[in-house]
Structure 1
Amino acid sequence: MTEQFEKGLAIRRQVMGDEFVDRAFEQATEFTMDLQHYITDVCWGGIWGREGLTKRDRSLINLAMLTALNRSQELRGHVRGAINNGVTVEEIKEVMLQTAVYCGAPAAQEGFRIAKEVLEDMNALK
């Protein structure tokens, strides 16, 4: 593995958690393993590993983009990752409200629903 892959793997584990990352690699098949390597190397090592934004900032951006794109499965993981990166529940709520204006109410409703499920699972809601 390359140095960038190793860096990406460490960041991916820090943000998403060991259980999530282990499951992603364990569930990968011969057909899908190259994608796991690509995501870890390019996305996590190449982009998340850059110094231009904090991991916290990247998490906030991801929440908005994944809500806008209606990528529910990825949003679930990144809500958890945002909490791991120090984003507050209040800030997640504000991102979802912001998406209502720029992405439409249906996208925001789905984003709120998914965020609520994950936050409840993490015991992060009062």
Structure 2
Amino acid sequence: MGKDQFEAGLEVRRDVLGADYVNKSIENADDFTRDLQQLVTEYCWGEIWTREGISRKTRSIINLAMLSALNRPHELKLHVRGALRNGVTKDEIKEILLQSAIYCGVPAAIDGFRVAQEIINIENE
């Protein structure tokens, strides 16, 4: 890993989460958070999201399910937006969250629906 992985990760991260959000995250990094931004961009986005084994759409679907299971609404919000950019439909998001109700619990699914609906409504404006 290194500069090439960071640059590759930055490109994918911007494509999925939006350049404004990512640029703001990088620009707002300080001495405390800069290393985390570097790690996330290189390792998560540059090493994993650039792999060819599965599509970005599939990665988004997996992320929605895992973030629902982990009850991480802030990250879920980001990844709902990214999933829509990666071709996951509103109906597919609904099905993912319904599936999570069974395996992760109804409270997690309710929160997931709440977060997803907020983003879907914004994206539809």
Q: Sort the TM-score into its range (normalised by shorter chain).
A: over 0.9
Q: Which residue of 1 aligns with 2:10?
A: 9
Identity of matched residues, %: 55
Mapped pair 1:25 → 2:26: yes
**What SS does structure 2 have at the residue aligned with 1:49?**
coil
1:71-91 residue CA offsets vs partner (Å, 9 max, x unmatched): 011000000000000100000
Mapped pair 1:123 → 2:124: yes
Q: Which residue of 2 aligns with 1:92?
A: 93
Superposed structure 1 runs of 4+ greater than 2 Å apart: none
Whole-angstrom distance in 2 between the partners of 1:23 and 1:74: 16
Whole-angstrom distance in 2 between the partners of 1:25 and 1:122: 23
Map 1:31-46 to 2 at 5 A: 31-46=32-47
1:2, CA displacement in angstroms?
1.4
- Return 5+ residue gaps in structure 1 as ranges: none
1:29, CA displacement in angstroms?
1.1
Whole-angstrom distance in 2 between the partners of 1:107 and 1:27: 30
**What SS does structure 2 have at the residue aligned with 1:46?**
helix
Q: Which residue of 2 aligns with 1:106?
A: 107
- Aligned residue identity for 2:45: W
Q: What is the number of equivalent residue pairs in this alignment?
A: 124
Aligned CA RMSD, in angstroms, stands at 1.0
Mapped pair 1:61 → 2:62: yes
Whole-angstrom distance in 1 between the partners of 2:27 and 2:88: 28
**What SS does structure 2 have at the residue aligned with 1:93?**
helix
- Return 5+ residue gaps in structure 2 as ranges: none
Q: Which residue of 2 aligns with 1:75?
A: 76
Whole-angstrom distance in 2 between the partners of 1:114 and 1:26: 26
Structure 2 length-normalised TM: 0.96
Structure 1 length-normalised TM: 0.95
1:26, CA displacement in angstroms?
2.0
Whole-angstrom distance in 2 between the partners of 1:108 and 1:2: 38
